[in-house]
Each structure stands twice: as structure tokens, then as C-alpha cells.
Chain A
Amino acid sequence: MNKCKQFAKEKHFWHYKNMNYIWFFIIIISIISALYTGKVDAMVNSIWTGAKQSVEICLYLAGIMAFWLGIMKIAEKSGMVSFVAKIITPVARKLFPDVPENNRAIGDIAMNFSANAFGLANAATPIGIRAMEELQKLNRDKKSASNDMCTLLAMNTAGFQLVPTTVIAVLAACGDKNPSSIVLPTLLVTSVTFLFALVIVKLLEKISPAQPDLEKEGEQHD
């Protein structure tokens, strides 16, 4: 429970802190350049059309997200997600060499990947954080990220996803006759990015400054 609250806090803190400035600047720049280019009327009108448009997008999004998450809930409950996780567990073990044989982290990492792939972000994040906590227990320097922690992070920042649901919803909202045609091109890009992210993180691991404790004593951790 406490972890969940903490997570929610982090999430919102991050979102507000950055978007505050970006949003502020987008609007300020718009107003200034509208004055400069003399397009004030057009800009003011765009507020109303933009507001109308976001309602339309949101309605489509609600429909498609509700349907897809409904199907994905079945995938989750029927064990499909954990089945995929089981298949990729051997690969995960190779990617995280510092995790001991029977540690729960590997299973959680596989599950995190699988849930992300199916677009179940709400399920994936808590499992991913649980895996991160396990890795932190194995970590020697609690303030700096271990190699395995960086790898898990790279897996998540690359964001491999099978079906880009929200993108399909937006395309459908804008009158695309065949919005699902975007699935394979996106899948291609997301796969390439994911593989590159893993290669990059493993390469950087070699040149990244070692953690202070690991440098001095090269022995096995408990």
C-alpha cells in the first residue's frame, strides 16, 4: 500500500515538474508569435477547435482502450501473459548475470516485459518496481544503479509493445479507414529499438565507471 502511494507521488511529481515548463512555454510562445505574425484571431479560434477535438479523440480513445484492456484482462487472467514471461525467462537470465539462480527478480523482469508487450502498463510498472527492489537488495552501493538495474531500465525505456492501442484510437478518430495497418511498421520499429537498447546498455556497461564497492573487492555477493 505504502509503496503504491509512494509510486503515485513520484509519478505525479515527475509529470508536473517537467510539463509545467513545457506547457507554459508552448502557450507563451504561441501568444507572442501570434502577436508577431498578426494571427491573433486564428490562434484564439484554434483554442475552441482544439478543445472540441480533444473531446472527440477522448471518446474514441475511451471506446478502443476499454475494448482492448478488456481483452487484455482475459489474457492476464488466463495466464497468457505469464506464459510469455515463462518463455523469455531463459533470455532474461542471460541478460542479468548478477542475479542468483533462485531469485524472484528474474521472474518479475520477464513478467514486466510480457505485461509491457501486451500494453498492460498498469500491471507492468508495479512488477517492474518489485524487480527493481530485488535488484537493489543485491546492489552494493545503494545510491548508484548496478549494471543489472541499468539493463532493466533500458528494457523499460525502450518500451516494446505489440499493439499501439492509443495510436490506433487516434487514427480511427481522424477517419482512418484501416487504422490497424500501422501495427506492423510500429512493431518493426519498436523491436529494432528494443534490441538496440539492450546492445547499447550492455556496451555502455563496459565503459561506464564501476561502482565504488565492486571495484575494490571482486568477490561473490551474499
Chain B
Amino acid sequence: MIKTFFDCISSWLIPFVIFTALLCGIVKKVPVYETFVEGAKDGLKVSVNIFPYLIAIIVAVSMLRASGAVDIAKNLFDGVLAVFHVPADVLPVMIIRSLSGSAVLGVFSDIASQYGPDSFITKLTAIMVGSSETTFYVLAVYFGAVGIKKFRHALLAGILADIIGIVTAVAVANWLFL
């Protein structure tokens, strides 16, 4: 029931945003077609730029999985994680999501292709990745740009927010997809 409602809103949100953007564009006399093409070029640049990072991480993570290292970690942590229905493969996602956006995307693609798009682990990771921001990178960029050396409570706030993000993602995934 709730799931159908969520699916419904989910699939309507994207056309709604597209519709509003185009309507606003036409009303404001923006050359929508040219503007779209211009933006699409940026999008292409983004994915070309991200490719070397993606290949570095996807290959490294699939090596890690194939080598059996994840299984070793699984045996160590499975007891704790199983209580919250968190598969051991999600562990790297939790750690890397605060460090690098392209890296976490690489780990996520590895999980999604390994377990299939409809599996619980893929859904959980998707939510975790989609709601994440690279905390440490943001800290370095924003404070680095103005020369701040003492972060005060910003660092702790960022880390706590990350933890809450992970917990909420697990809770929502358990609620909707289990």
C-alpha cells in the first residue's frame, strides 16, 4: 500500500520537474532547445571526467570481492549487521560514501550488477548512495577556499549527520523493501 504510493510519487516527480522546467523556460522566453543542448554537453563532460575514477574503483572492488576478502569481513561482522538486515557488502559503501562521490558510485555499481536491481541490498545501497554527500571533501573545499584551519563543531556535525543518514537509509529500506 505504502509502497505503491511511494512508487506513484516517485514516477511522477521526474516528469513534474521536467514539465515545470520547460514551462518556466518557455514563459521566460529561454531558448529551451539550445539551452538543453548546452547543458547536455556539461553532462557528457561530467561522465567523461568520472570514467577514470569509476574504472579505478569498480576494478578494485570487484577484485576485493573475488579475492574472498569480503567473505572474511562478512564472517567477522555478520552477527551484528544481520540484526539490522545489513549485508556485509554494504560496509565499504558506509565508509567510502563520506570520502568520494565517484568511488561510492563505483562500489554501488559493483553491488547492483552482482545482486541485480531488485535485490534488497541494491535498494538499500541505492538509497544510501543517493542521499549521501562527500562530507570530508565538502569540508576541505569550503573551508580550504577561505583558509579556515579550525573546523570547530562542523566536523562532528558532518559525521553525526552521515551516521543518521546511514541509519535512516537502513530503516527506510527495511520498511519499504523487506
A143 CB to nearest chain B CB (Å): 5
Query: How many B residues touch A, CB cutoff 8 Å?
Result: 108
- Contacts of A211 on B, CB cut-off 8 Å? 152
Alpha-carbon distance A141/B151, docked complex (angstroms): 12
Question: Considering the chains assembled together, what is the distance between the CA atoms of A192 and B46 in angstroms?
Answer: 28
Least CB distance, B24 to chain A, in whole angstroms: 4
Contact A153-B50, Cβ < 8 Å, known A174-B113, A184-B9, A190-B130: no
Within 8 A of A (CB), among B153-178: 153-154, 156-158, 160-162, 164-165, 168-169, 172-173, 176
Asked if A193 contacts B164 (CB within 8 A), the reply is: yes
Do B138 and A156 touch (CB < 8 A)?
yes
Whole-angstrom distance between the alpha carbons of A168 and B133 in the complex? 16
B17 close to A (CB within 8 Å): yes
Binds B, one of A12-20, A85-93, A94-102: A12-20
Q: Report the minimum CB–CB distance from A151 to chain B (whole Å).
A: 9
- B136 within 8 Å of A (CB atoms): yes
User: Does any Cβ of A come within 8 Å of B72's Cβ?
Assistant: yes
Residue of B nearest to A64 (CB): B43
Interface-central residue, A33, A42, A175, by most chain B CB under 10 Å: A33
- Is the pair B127, A182 in contact by a Cβ cutoff of 8 Å? yes
Tell me the bound Cα distance from A22 to B105 in angstroms: 15
Chain A residues whose CB sits within 8 angstroms of the CB of B122 once the complex forms: 171, 174
Asked if residues A197 and B161 are in contact (CB atoms below 8 Å), the reply is: yes
In the assembly, what is the distance between CA of A43 and CA of B62, in Å?
Answer: 8
Q: State the CA gap A77–B143 with chains docked (Å).
A: 29
Instruction: Let me know if B66 and A42 touch, CB within 8 A.
Output: yes
A166 to B11, CA, bound (A): 16
CA distance A49 to B61 in the complex (A): 11
Assess whether B7 is in contact with A181, with CB atoms less than 8 Å apart: yes
**Cβ B99 vs Cβ A18 within 8 A:** yes
Name the interface residues of B24-56: CB closer than 8 Å to any CB of A: 24-25, 27-28, 30, 32, 35-44, 46-48, 50-51, 54-56
Asked if A72 and B21 sit within 8 Å, CB to CB, the answer is yes
Asked whether B145 lies within 8 Å of A33 as measured between CB atoms, the reply is no
Q: Is A72's CB under 8 angstroms from B161's CB?
A: no
A104 CB-CB contact with B under 8 Å? no
B104 to chain A, nearest CB (A): 10
Which of B44, B146, B160 has the most chain A CB atoms closer than 10 A to its own CB?
Answer: B146
Residues of B within 8 A of A13 (CB): 140
| Residues of chain B within 8 A of A57, CB atoms compared | 54, 58, 109
Contact partner of B42 (CB less than 8 A), chosen from A73, A173, A204, is: A73
- Interface residue A161 (Cβ < 8 Å from any Cβ of B): yes
**Residue contact A129 to B142, C-beta cutoff 8 Å:** yes
Which single member of A67, A163, A181 contacts B40 (CB below 8 Å)? Answer: A67
Cβ–Cβ contact B127 & A185, under 8 A:
yes
The residue of chain A having its C-beta at the shortest distance from the C-beta of B36 within the complex is A70
Please give me the residue from chain B that is nearest to A176 by CB atom: B117
Chain A min CB distance to B37 (Å)? 7
Nearest-Cβ distance from residue A36 to partner chain B, whole angstroms: 8
The reply to whether the CB of B147 lies closer than 8 angstroms to some CB of chain A is yes
Partner of B148 from A125, A149, A161, A193 at Cβ < 8 Å: A149
Q: Could you tell me if B35 and A77 are in contact, using CB atoms closer than 8 angstroms? A: yes
In the assembled complex, how far is the CB of residue A118 from the closest CB belonging to chain B, in whole angstroms? 8
Contact between B47 and A58, CB atoms less than 8 A apart: yes
Task: Report whether A150 and B154 are in contact in the complex, using a CB–CB cutoff of 8 Å.
Answer: yes
Does the CB pair B131–A73 fall under 8 Å? no
16 residue pairs A–B, Cβ–Cβ below 8 Å: A15-B137, A19-B103, A37-B71, A43-B67, A50-B55, A61-B50, A69-B40, A70-B36, A71-B36, A79-B28, A161-B131, A170-B105, A173-B109, A174-B116, A185-B173, A208-B152
